[in-house]
Every structure is written in C-alpha cells, then in structure tokens.
Amino acid sequence: MNKRILTGITTTGTPHIGNYLGAIKPALELAEKYDESFFFLADYHAIIKNSNKVEIEESVKEVALSWLASGLDPNKSNFYRQSDVPEILELSWILNCVTAKGLMNRSHAYKAATALNSSDEDKGISMGLFSYPVLMAADILIFNATHVPVGPDQMQHLEMTRDIAGRFNHSYKKTFELPEAITQTADKIILGQDGRKMSKSYKNIIPLLSSEKVLKKSIAKIVTNSLEPGEPKEFNNCSVFSLFTHFSSEEEQNELKESYKNGISWGDAKNKLFKKVNEHILPIRDSYNSLNSNKELINDLLEEGSSKVRPMAKELLSEVRESIGISKIS
C-alpha cells in the first residue's frame, strides 16, 4: 500500500507566515518522504464562511501562488482545485447518508458558531457549516489518503473522517483506509502580532507575500511590553523571540538571548527579526512576483493537476456507487 499524504488549504484570506511555517513548509518537507502527495485548494470549503466573490477569487490565486512560490513541484506532487474534481462532491453526498447527525452536532467548529448565538442557536448556521466535516472526509477518502498533516484545530475533523470511513466500510464493503493525522507539536504554534496563535480570524497576521515595506510594518506592530532600551528582557513568551526561532540557527538564537539580557531595545529586536524573515522570504517573494505575471501558467498547472487526479477519483467513485446499489440495471 502506497503511503499517500494529503492536505487541503481553505482559500479564504491572504496567506500569512503562520500558514507558511505551520502548513506549507512542513507539508512540502513531508512530500519528500511519502510515495505520493496531494495538495489542494479547498475552494468549496471557502464559500462556507465567505460570500464575497472577489475575495474568494483573490484568495484562490494567492494561496495557489504561495504553494508554488514556496517550492511545490507540480511534477512531484498532485496539486489541484477541489472544485475541479466534482467527484469529491458526489462522494460527499454519499458520505452524508452514512454520517450520524449526532456526530456532526459534536463538531467544535459548529458548536463554537452556535455558542455565539443567544436565543436562536441556529442563527447564521448554514448546512454547509454543519456538514463541513463530511466534505473534508470526502476530500481525504476520495484518494484514500493514508496520512493527513493538519493543525491541532483539525484533529477532530480527522477523527470524524475515520468514523465516517469506518461506518461506510461496515455498512457496505471495505473501501476506505482510515487516515492518520500528522500534527505539529505545541512549540510549532506560530504566534501573531498580539501573542495569540497567528490566524486570519484574530486579525494578527504577518503576510507572506507582501512587499518588504509592509512586512517591516507588520513586524513593527508586534505587541511587546513597555521595557525601555537598556532594561533586560525576557525571551520566554515573547512573540518577537518566538518568531525569530523559526528563521534562525541555534547560534543566532543564543546571540539574541544574550542581547535580550543586555537590554536590546524592542525596535532593534524587531529589526533583527525583520532581517531574518525577509531573507528567508526573498526567494518566495521573487518567485511569487514572476508567477503572478503569468496567470495562464497557473491555470494550466491547476488544470493539469486535476486531470491527473480525476481518473483516480472516478475509479473510486464507481466502486462506491457499485457498492451502494447505484449501478446499471441488470
């Protein structure tokens, strides 16, 4: 059995350093170790929370370019848009029919959304949001992925995928592998400007694809305490230091620790951080800019990507249809 790694990225918002360090970079590293890799743009997941057409279009482009600019090789990894593989939606419906509503009621994402409501708990909750984990299960199961790198917030969805796959296998025929999650450890959590996890929902992001000037500005906005230059500073629980560790060697980190002890100013510390981040991002930014001027190429790449994976999806789906009794009358 081939080891297949698969992960999807919801196309909302503009990619940030947290997406890069927490998802893109580790996934590309993992791709080297697995027999096959599948990376896709989860654009049907994106419309669950965003109904702004322009924002969706923009984000699909930015996310696609971020992956390519960060080194995704479309000859080695399968790279496609979820919406270009309609078999995923077909499987999603079939899986909806074997998924217990009670299982979906327990979804953290759904519960968090209802918790914000007071009198009418269903206010603003679409069926898309409610059955989001089923679509995610279809994304994974359509290619029988064996390993799925996900953030800690997606662990529950992966459990649900296993549950749904198990139910299908049990009710019909063993069709699906139960995928395993690959998660990062807590020290890999990337902190945003306000010290919380970097996330578009917290509006605390440092963008990946911005100009040098914007990058500098967003690093300058990292919240620090009010210690003056000359006063010793603590590097533990410091967002500036924490971000620095992701872009530097141990030696460089020790140097910065020493500077903290010696009372480096926050301005200088942020400047050191900016230099390291900028140095790292430079080739990504260049590659992004050149790809950005050739949109035909991106569209072609994505089209090729889906035409490579669709035959696999079709094959699995026809097996599934056969198993459930949706086949030729005999």
Residues in contact with ligand TRP by the rule CB under 6 A: 6-8, 10, 42, 45, 136, 139-140, 148, 150, 154
Instruction: Print burial letters for 47-57: b (CB count within 10 Å at least 16), e (below 16).
Output: bbbeeeeeebe
Least distance to ligand TRP, CB of residue 100, Å = 20
- Tokens 């327990």 appear where? 106
The residue among 12 and 193 lying less far from ligand TRP, judged by its C-beta, is 12
Least distance to ligand TRP, CB of residue 82, Å = 7
102 φ, ψ (degrees, to nearest 5) = -60, -35
The residue among 10 and 204 lying less far from ligand TRP, judged by its C-beta, is 10
Least distance to ligand TRP, CB of residue 10, Å = 4
Q: Are 59 and 13 in contact (CB under 8 A)?
A: yes
Sign of the torsion formed by the C-alpha atoms of 315, 321, 325 and 327: negative
Task: Please state, as a whole number, how many other Cβ atoms lie within 10 Å of the Cβ of residue 118.
Answer: 7
Least distance to ligand TRP, CB of residue 139, Å = 4
The residue among 134 and 256 lying less far from ligand TRP, judged by its C-beta, is 134
The residue among 150 and 191 lying less far from ligand TRP, judged by its C-beta, is 150
Q: Are 147 and 179 in contact (CB under 8 A)?
A: yes
Q: Are 142 and 85 in contact (CB under 8 A)?
A: yes
Task: Please state, as a whole number, how many other Cβ atoms lie within 10 Å of the Cβ of residue 321.
Answer: 14
Least distance to ligand TRP, CB of residue 145, Å = 8
The residue among 150 and 209 lying less far from ligand TRP, judged by its C-beta, is 150
Sign of the torsion formed by the C-alpha atoms of 297, 299, 303 and 309: positive
Least distance to ligand TRP, CB of residue 136, Å = 4
CA distance 128 to 264: 50
The dihedral region occupied by 41, where left means phi > 0, alpha psi between -120 and 50, and beta the remainder, is: beta
CA distance 23 to 67: 10
Q: Which residue is at the shortest CB distance from ligand TRP?
A: 8
Task: Please state, as a whole number, how many other Cβ atoms lie within 10 Å of the Cβ of residue 296.
Answer: 7
Least distance to ligand TRP, CB of residue 45, Å = 5
Query: Does residue 263 sit in helix, strand or coil?
Result: coil
CA distance 287 to 230: 40
Least distance to ligand TRP, CB of residue 281, Å = 22
